[in-house]
Amino acid sequence: MLDVSRIRAISLDLDDTLWPVWPVIERAEKALTAWLGQYAPMTSALFANPHARHEIREHVMRTRPEIGHDLSAIRLEAIRLALYRAGENPLLAEAAFEVFFAERHRVEFYDDAMPALEWLAQRYPLVSLSNGNADLVRVGLGGLFNAAISAARFGVGKPDVRIFHAAAAAVGVPADQVLHVGDDAGLDVLGALAAGMQTVWVNRSEHLWTYDVHPHETVSQLNEICDLLN
C-alpha cells in the first residue's frame, strides 16, 4: 500500500507508460527507409533486410559499449555503418537520423495520460525518467514536467539506482519521498524499489508479476493513480 503522506514528487517513465512506443518506432523506421530510398538507395535496401539491420545494431553495441545507454547514439552509428557498408556517403547519417528522430516524436498518448498528467502536475513536481530518447518538449509535455532525466544524458539507465537518485535530486526531494510510475517490472519497479522509492506499476496488458518483491500499487490506467492520491 502507498503511504500517500510521504509523497512529495513523482517520477514517470515515458515509453509504454504515457504512449505505446512500438507503433511510433515502426513509423519512424518506415520514414527513415523512405528517406534512404531517395538519398541512399543501397543503404535502404540493406536496412530492408531485418537480419542485416539487427547485425549492424549488434555490431555497434558490441564495438561501442560506451554508448550502450544512448539509443540515439546507437541509432546514428548504425545508420552511419550501414551507409559505409553500402558504399554510400556516411555524412548522410545525421540527416537520416533526424528524419527518424522527428517521426519518433509523433507519439499518440494513451487516452488516460494527459488528464492524469495535468492533474498530477497541479499537485506534485514531476520528473521524467527514461532509458529512451524521447524529448519532453518535442512530444508536447515540456510545460508539465519540472525536470527530465534520461539514460543518454546521465550515463547509466534504469534499473541502476543512481539514475533514480538523480531524478529525485532534480526536483529537490529525497528518494524515499518520490513515487515512481512505470510499465516495466524490472527496470521501473525493481529499480525504484532498490532506490528507496515507492512504486506504481502500470500494467495495461494484465501481465503476471513474477518477482518476489512487489510494487506498492498496480494500476491499468494512469487515472487510477489520481484516485489513489486524491
Q: Do 124 and 45 fall within a single domain?
A: no
Comparing CA positions, the residue from 6, 7, 219 lying closest to residue 113 is 219
pLDDT at 128: 98
Determine the pLDDT at residue 211.
Answer: 96
* Rounded Cα–Cα distance for residues 173 and 176 (Å): 8
Confidence at residue 121, expressed as pLDDT on a 0 to 100 scale: 98
Q: Which domain holds residue 140?
A: 4-19+107-229
Is the domain of 26 the same as that of 13? no
Positions of the chain with pLDDT under 70:
none
Are residue 172 and residue 132 in the same domain, yes or no? yes
Identify the pLDDT of residue 126. Answer: 98
Q: How distant, in Å, are the alpha carbons of 6, 58, 88, 113 from that of 17?
A: 23, 26, 38, 8
Q: How many domains does the chain have?
A: 2
The one-letter amino acid at 230 = N
CB atoms within 10 A of CB 207: 11
Q: Identify the pLDDT of residue 85.
A: 96
CB 46 within 8 A of CB 86: yes
Residue 226 is predicted with a pLDDT of 97
Q: Do 88 and 144 fall into the same domain? A: no
Distance CA 70, CA 110 (A): 25
3 state SS of 149: strand
* pLDDT at residue number 111: 97
Domain match, 93 and 135 both = no
How much is the pLDDT for 139? 96
Last residue of a domain, one of 104, 138, 169: 104
Segments of the chain assigned E as strands = 9-12, 126-130, 147-150, 178-182, 198-202, 217-219
The reply to whether 140 and 54 lie within a common domain is no
Q: Same domain for 98 and 210?
A: no
Asked if 105 and 132 touch (Cβ cutoff 8 Å), the reply is: no
CA distances from 213 to 127, 186, 210 (A): 24, 11, 9
CATH of the domain at 56: 1.20.120.1600
> Does one domain contain both 84 and 187?
no
Residue length of the chain: 230
Phi-psi region of 87 (alpha: psi -120 to 50; beta: other; left: phi over 0): left
